[in-house]
Structure 1
């Protein structure tokens, strides 16, 4: 269940490298998932990574991952899951005017190693990446990577309420005749949910519990306005 974290400036070829890596690692007869940055920000990206981590699957994070603090969060997720990880730095590109600072990875930081750097069109160091992912021991978990108690009771209450409202809206839409392929809108959310198949209460409740457990690991008041959108994105990915 290894994790590959890509980082780099816009235009440095991260998505191309992610697909190249997916093709190479798929030959190992393991499922390989590429998780890309999308609406919902870092919290949604982290939740999707944590959802994908499993005993056999390889997860590739195709995002800028500019901040060392976020790379540290992903490193903690791998420690919590007991899986190896490595960092692939795509050198090149240029800063985007609206983007924040890029904190260059440093192999002296435990969350930035093993560190592999590629420039331009040079080949990926596939042998070294495979060794880091499949032949090394995962870092041992410690207290900092275990789930911490939720700091804000208000956050938990809001999380419970919003996810209940989303589930109620999805079930109500289906009772009203919504069919697969239709977009279900939820009050207070800019996102919608396109049904790919009918969803029952048992499955929706299970996905809600999973989303809550992931979100509680890193509660953040700044995510409160986006909880409904984050949950809808999570449902959309989970029912594909």
Structure 2
């Protein structure tokens, strides 16, 4: 049940590449499924991916996956399912002002590797993709299933505090008159949250719980400096 995540801007050929991958990786004993972005947005996409990952099939995610936070969620889903994965970056295309800014993948991030990048006219590196999916060892169990190291206690404490601070900043900005279209700033974080609509405490708390559950799947001190930015990206994507 390996997972292939595509990412790229509009017009970069993601759907064409997804069809090529389905043809190359699937077969009578190993069906390949393409999960595309559709009505329901990111939440529906992730739910469908998680449902498919419960089978012995290849799952190909044909979506922009512009944000690091979205790719991190898919990474966590693959880790939870105990399956190999890779990321295919379709280079080229053109940015659409209506889309979130594209955050290019970086192989230094665990959720962006193994990373393969192809231009519009380049052939897919199928041999390397097959090796990453079918010849690599399954990822180790999540730390949630093992005794937690001491660093995880600090991670969970920071995760709770940082997400609380982000929610407090968003609610305070709205109480101060922030309107849809305005950028909400969080002290100490370069990134902001552009309000698409008013956000209530109940909805923000629900999104915070969801983000925490994703982040707990892979507690790591390496993610500490990025927690606030990742949570803001998650809020931005989830409230559009």
TM bracket (short chain)? 0.5 to 0.7
Cα distance, 1:75 vs. partner? 0.4
Task: Trace 1:29-48 onto structure 2 (pairs within 5 A).
Answer: 29-48=29-48
Cα distance, 1:47 vs. partner? 0.4
Q: Deviating runs (4+, > 4 A) in structure 1?
A: 220-225
Cα distance, 1:137 vs. partner? 1.3
- Partners in 1 of 2:236 and 2:97 — Cα distance? 23
Q: Residue 14 of structure 2 corresponds to which residue in structure 1?
A: 14
Q: Deviations along 1:69-127, whole A, 9 cap, x unmatched?
A: 11011000111000000000000000012111100000011110000000011110000
Secondary structure of 1:89's aligned partner: strand
| Distance of aligned partners of 1:145 and 1:125 in 2 relative to their CA distance in 1, 3 Å threshold | farther
- Check whether the contact 1:37–1:62 (CA below 8 A) recurs between aligned residues: yes
Q: Residue 74 of structure 1 corresponds to which residue in structure 2?
A: 74
- Partners in 1 of 2:69 and 2:145 — Cα distance? 14
Is 2:114 aligned against 1:114? yes
- Check whether the contact 2:2–2:85 (CA below 8 A) recurs between aligned residues: yes
Aligned positions, number: 160
Instruction: Using structure 1 for the length normalisation, give the TM-score.
Output: 0.60
- Partners in 2 of 1:224 and 1:124 — Cα distance? 32
- Check whether the contact 1:76–1:145 (CA below 8 A) recurs between aligned residues: no
Q: Deviations along 1:45-86, whole A, 9 cap, x unmatched?
A: 000000001352000000000001110110001110000000
- C-alpha RMSD of matched pairs (Å): 3.1
- Partners in 2 of 1:223 and 1:107 — Cα distance? 22
Q: Residue 175 of structure 2 corresponds to which residue in structure 1?
A: none
| Distance of aligned partners of 1:48 and 1:26 in 2 relative to their CA distance in 1, 3 Å threshold | same
Q: Deviations along 1:122-160, whole A, 9 cap, x unmatched?
A: 1100000000000001221323699xxxx9xxxxxxxxx
Q: Deviations along 1:154-182, whole A, 9 cap, x unmatched?
A: xxxxxxxxxxxxxxxxxxxxxxxxxxxxx
Task: Trace 1:171-182 onto structure 2 (pairs within 5 A).
Answer: none
Q: Residue 136 of structure 2 corresponds to which residue in structure 1?
A: 136
Q: Residue 88 of structure 1 corresponds to which residue in structure 2?
A: 88
- Check whether the contact 2:42–2:237 (CA below 8 A) recurs between aligned residues: no
Unaligned runs of 5+ in 2: 147-159, 161-209, 215-233
Is 2:2 aligned against 1:2? yes
| Distance of aligned partners of 1:40 and 1:83 in 2 relative to their CA distance in 1, 3 Å threshold | same
- Partners in 1 of 2:145 and 2:15 — Cα distance? 29
Unaligned runs of 5+ in 1: 152-213, 226-240
| Distance of aligned partners of 1:68 and 1:52 in 2 relative to their CA distance in 1, 3 Å threshold | same
